[in-house]
Chain A
Amino acid sequence: MPAHPKLATEFVKNKERAHWHDQSLWFVRSKRDAASQQIPEWELLREQASKIKSYTVSHLPDLLEDFEKNATAKGVHVHWARDAKEHNEIVHGILKQHEVTKVVKSKSMLTEECHLNPYLERHGIEVIDTDLGERIVQLQNKPPSHLVMPAIHIKKEEIGELFHEKLGTEKGATDPQYLTEAARQHLRQKFIGAEAGITGVNFAIAETGGFVVCTNEGNADLGTSLNKLHIACMGIEKLIPRANDLSVFLRLLARSATGQPITTYSSHFHGPAPRAEMHVVLLDNGRSEISGSDEFRRSLNCIRCAACMNTCPVYRRSGGYSYEATVPGPIGSTLSPSKDAKKYSSLPFACSLCGSCTDVCPVKIDLHHQLLTWRKEIRVRGLLPFSKRISMKMMGWMMQAPRLYRFVGKCARAIVPRLPRFLLYNRFNAWGKQRELPDFPKQSFREWMKKNHDNK
């Protein structure tokens, strides 16, 4: 399993592309800054959102029960799924019951998490992602590389090429308007031909039993109103207690995500339309376990705005795929080890601990501290590479023995400056690949002090 540094190195090799990726995302971060500046009470909102979410996560069982009761009263069928497998079986079961063979889906990272598309396809059901970015990566047979801009890593020339091949657009076309129009026409056919719509859920309201889906393309609306069957898939942490809380999150979500004041469409679903059916599938998939952990509980506050990715200097320069996880970036590096600490053991280290993610997060998740805690956890579980463990151990010993520390320092300062370059700069010295080592001074600060200060 290639770990993060290896894939990141690959990504960075194409400098021009890595710069382009970094700059596209920085542009979004700058828009976010400008949008948050428009709101004087921004920090207050973050505080409120964080409190509401923390309350929700610690009262999850009760609130979920409320939600089920209230949703059922509105005529919604509520299902519970323990893991991805159960989730997919439930969705498939509903579709089978209605003899559905064609489904349109509006962007949902949860169904990505469960690998729902391949599952349904294996059972003879066509699933079309209707979010433009999501459709692009689907046509490429790839997962999204970002939470809210799934195709941010693909250049328009590549999209032109892909559309030419799959949708029959003109060869060499790169005009975004032309390409978008082609995708729209193609998707329209799919919308009309579909028999059911699947959506994600951004916020489910315990008090009312309703839920809200935020999109910029209106595709959730179209997919669900053209069809008599709507299946909404949500992680159990998507809950908020009251309808009143919604405004806090709607103000934060789009501003944090893209710098818009609000998403173009915030569609509210409170029960099925006449003669239609509405299902909600509630998925746990490890979430209740996280909610039981004092250290990592707060990561469930996440509203998936992706601001932490846009700000993360490592994500911007290594690309979403280097994380090899459904959710990349700082929040992905926090959530993924909970699923499989061994597989994702390099992710908490794919971080310079700059803390920008923590300050940008609209629900105040202390992301970089959680990543640090994960590093400890990885060491405790024996998943830290031997080389790291042993070098830190040796350093620890040396630092507990001041005389040894002084001696080693003295030797290094005497020897290193005399070494020929090839001994210092070779493939074992990762520091020296693109950087010079500092000049080793003749005397340490300590030695200087002894000579010049202490005997004054």
Chain B
Amino acid sequence: MAPKVGLFIPCYIDQLYPQVGIATLKTLEHFGCDVEYPESQTCCGQPMANTGCTNDVGPLAKRFLDIFKSYDAVVCPSGSCVSMVKHHYDEYFTDNPEYEALKAKTFEFCEYLTNVLGIDKLAGRFPHKVGLHQSCHGLRELRLASASELRIEPFGPARALLESIDGVEVTTLKRPDECCGFGGTFAVAEEAVSCMMGEDRVSDHEQAGTEVLTALDMSCLMHMSGIIRRQQKPIRVMHISEIFAESL
């Protein structure tokens, strides 16, 4: 039977980047998932948690559990929001088996494709030089790829998936996995440093020849795309799910 997937679409993707949600849905359905989008979901509470306002997160965490507990899997096109649910909800649930179960079945989109559905190749064609931005939360909280600081066997299933698409050439960066400087409220509270970080990331991609900049997180891309558009750089920005959906 097809797995019943609860689609978790972060609030800012819902409001600002519907095409990312659509691409995620399309890809999951293409691979045989029975996808449902629970209407009453809003936000995982990450902005509040990252500002220290953890008391404002509790009710959202409980809502989240209620909304998503009945699915076989919860899938989300944002590593950062997944990491919030998996790693930062503990304090709101003591000995709650439903939450423990939720933790185990909540996945970032690419992680779900590779680790759960076992997909390692995408058909189709996308003849572009693609720059993959390794979003920090996916990288160092969810361990979705190997971080450059650690001495471990290099791995990176999302990158491998991208490379499996005909015509894709993933560009090589000088600093493979440095932070883009988004960091949630950091982007506003530390505007100057945040923008310099973003600019540096963008120019690393520019020098590497990136034509299409992609990531597992739309939030990092929102930040870098803001800089790219202000500076009118010739780089297109797409969430990884959009590339996948285009090459199905």
Residues of A at under 8 Å CB distance from B? 4-5, 8-9, 12-13, 15, 18, 22, 26, 33, 36-37, 39-40, 42-43, 311, 313-314, 317-318, 349-356, 358-360, 372, 374-380, 384, 388-389, 392-393, 395-396, 398-400, 402, 405, 409, 412-413, 430-431, 433-438, 440-441, 443-449, 453-454
New contact pairs (18) apart from A388-B51, A400-B60, CB-CB < 8 Å: A22-B200, A33-B148, A33-B149, A313-B181, A350-B193, A353-B137, A355-B137, A356-B147, A360-B149, A392-B53, A399-B43, A400-B59, A436-B226, A438-B17, A438-B225, A438-B226, A449-B21, A449-B37
Q: How far is the CB of B174 from chain A (nearest CB, A)?
A: 9
CB-defined A-B contacts under 8 Å, sample of 30: A5-B189, A8-B193, A12-B193, A18-B196, A26-B175, A313-B197, A317-B193, A349-B186, A356-B140, A356-B178, A359-B147, A359-B149, A378-B52, A379-B54, A388-B51, A388-B53, A388-B185, A392-B53, A395-B43, A399-B60, A405-B11, A430-B191, A434-B191, A434-B195, A435-B226, A438-B226, A441-B19, A444-B14, A445-B15, A446-B14
Is the Cβ of A445 less than 8 Å from the Cβ of B9? yes
Q: Which of A9, A372, A436 contacts B229 (CB 8 A)?
A: A436
Bound Cα distance A377, B25 (Å): 39
Contacting A at CB under 8 A, from B176-207, are 178-179, 181-200
Residues of A contacting B54 in the complex (Cβ-Cβ under 8 angstroms)? 376, 379
Is the Cβ of A399 less than 8 Å from the Cβ of B42? yes
Residues of B at under 8 Å CB distance from A? 9, 11, 13-22, 25, 37, 39-43, 45, 47-57, 59-60, 63, 136-137, 139-141, 147-152, 175, 178-179, 181-200, 222-223, 225-227, 229-230
Q: How far is the CB of A375 from chain B (nearest CB, A)?
A: 3
Q: Which of B22, B63, B151, B189 contacts A43 (CB 8 A)?
A: B151
Residues of A contacting B53 in the complex (Cβ-Cβ under 8 angstroms)? 379, 384, 388-389, 392-393, 396
Q: Which of B37, B63, B197 contacts A352 (CB 8 A)?
A: B197
Bound Cα distance A358, B147 (Å): 11
With known contacts A354-B140, A384-B51, A395-B48, A39–B151 Cβ distance under 8 A? yes
Residues of A contacting B56 in the complex (Cβ-Cβ under 8 angstroms)? 392-393, 395-396
Residues of B contacting A: mostly: helix
Q: Which of A372, A436, A438 contacts B50 (CB 8 A)?
A: A372
Is the Cβ of B39 less than 8 Å from the Cβ of A402? yes
Closest residue of chain A to B232 (Cβ to Cβ) is A436
Closest residue of chain B to A381 (Cβ to Cβ) is B52
Closest residue of chain B to A36 (Cβ to Cβ) is B151
Is the Cβ of A392 less than 8 Å from the Cβ of B51? yes
Is the Cβ of B190 less than 8 Å from the Cβ of A314? yes
Q: How far is the CB of B58 from chain A (nearest CB, A)?
A: 9
Bound Cα distance A22, B203 (Å): 14
Residues of B contacting A405 in the complex (Cβ-Cβ under 8 angstroms)? 11, 42-43
Residues of B contacting A37 in the complex (Cβ-Cβ under 8 angstroms)? 151
Closest residue of chain A to B91 (Cβ to Cβ) is A376
Bound Cα distance A352, B48 (Å): 14
Residues of B contacting A444 in the complex (Cβ-Cβ under 8 angstroms)? 14-15, 18
Q: Which of A377, A399, A431, A454 contacts B188 (CB 8 A)?
A: A431
Bound Cα distance A48, B102 (Å): 33
Closest residue of chain B to A369 (Cβ to Cβ) is B87
Bound Cα distance A433, B231 (Å): 12
Closest residue of chain A to B59 (Cβ to Cβ) is A400
Bound Cα distance A352, B63 (Å): 27
Residues of A contacting B190 in the complex (Cβ-Cβ under 8 angstroms)? 4-5, 8, 314, 349-350, 352
Q: How far is the CB of A388 from chain B (nearest CB, A)?
A: 6
Is the Cβ of A356 less than 8 Å from the Cβ of B195? no
Bound Cα distance A388, B190 (Å): 13
Give the A-B contact count at a CB cut-off of 8 A: 214
The 3 A-B pairs at the shortest CB distance, nearest first, are namely A352-B183, A435-B226, A375-B52
Bound Cα distance A389, B184 (Å): 15
With known contacts A393-B56, A399-B11, A445-B21, A43–B51 Cβ distance under 8 A? no
Closest residue of chain B to A315 (Cβ to Cβ) is B193
Bound Cα distance A4, B189 (Å): 10
Is the Cβ of A445 less than 8 Å from the Cβ of B18? yes
Bound Cα distance A448, B13 (Å): 12
Bound Cα distance A412, B11 (Å): 13
Bound Cα distance A288, B93 (Å): 31
Bound Cα distance A380, B14 (Å): 32
Q: How far is the CB of B74 from chain A (nearest CB, A)?
A: 16
Bound Cα distance A174, B191 (Å): 35
Closest residue of chain B to A447 (Cβ to Cβ) is B18
Is the Cβ of B193 less than 8 Å from the Cβ of A318? yes
With known contacts A349-B190, A438-B222, A396–B59 Cβ distance under 8 A? yes
Is the Cβ of A445 less than 8 Å from the Cβ of B51? no
Q: How far is the CB of A81 from chain B (nearest CB, A)?
A: 33
Q: How far is the CB of A346 from chain B (nearest CB, A)?
A: 8
Closest residue of chain B to A438 (Cβ to Cβ) is B16
Bound Cα distance A396, B141 (Å): 24
Is the Cβ of B227 less than 8 Å from the Cβ of A434? yes
Is the Cβ of A402 less than 8 Å from the Cβ of B51? no
Q: How far is the CB of A25 from chain B (nearest CB, A)?
A: 12
Q: How far is the CB of B63 from chain A (nearest CB, A)?
A: 7
Q: How far is the CB of B148 from chain A (nearest CB, A)?
A: 7
Residues of B contacting A402 in the complex (Cβ-Cβ under 8 angstroms)? 39-42
Residues of A contacting B152 in the complex (Cβ-Cβ under 8 angstroms)? 43
Q: How far is the CB of A75 from chain B (nearest CB, A)?
A: 43
Is the Cβ of A399 less than 8 Å from the Cβ of B45? yes
Bound Cα distance A440, B21 (Å): 15
Bound Cα distance A374, B9 (Å): 29
Is the Cβ of B14 less than 8 Å from the Cβ of A354? no
Q: How far is the CB of A29 from chain B (nearest CB, A)?
A: 9
Residues of A contacting B48 in the complex (Cβ-Cβ under 8 angstroms)? 392, 395-396
Is the Cβ of A441 less than 8 Å from the Cβ of B17? yes
Bound Cα distance A399, B58 (Å): 12
Closest residue of chain B to A15 (Cβ to Cβ) is B196
Closest residue of chain A to B230 (Cβ to Cβ) is A436
Bound Cα distance A9, B190 (Å): 8
Bound Cα distance A359, B146 (Å): 11
Residues of B contacting A436 in the complex (Cβ-Cβ under 8 angstroms)? 225-226, 229-230
Residues of B contacting A448 in the complex (Cβ-Cβ under 8 angstroms)? 18, 21-22
Residues of A contacting B225 in the complex (Cβ-Cβ under 8 angstroms)? 436, 438
Most chain-B CB neighbours within 10 Å: which of A37, A317, A440? Answer: A317
Residues of A contacting B148 in the complex (Cβ-Cβ under 8 angstroms)? 33
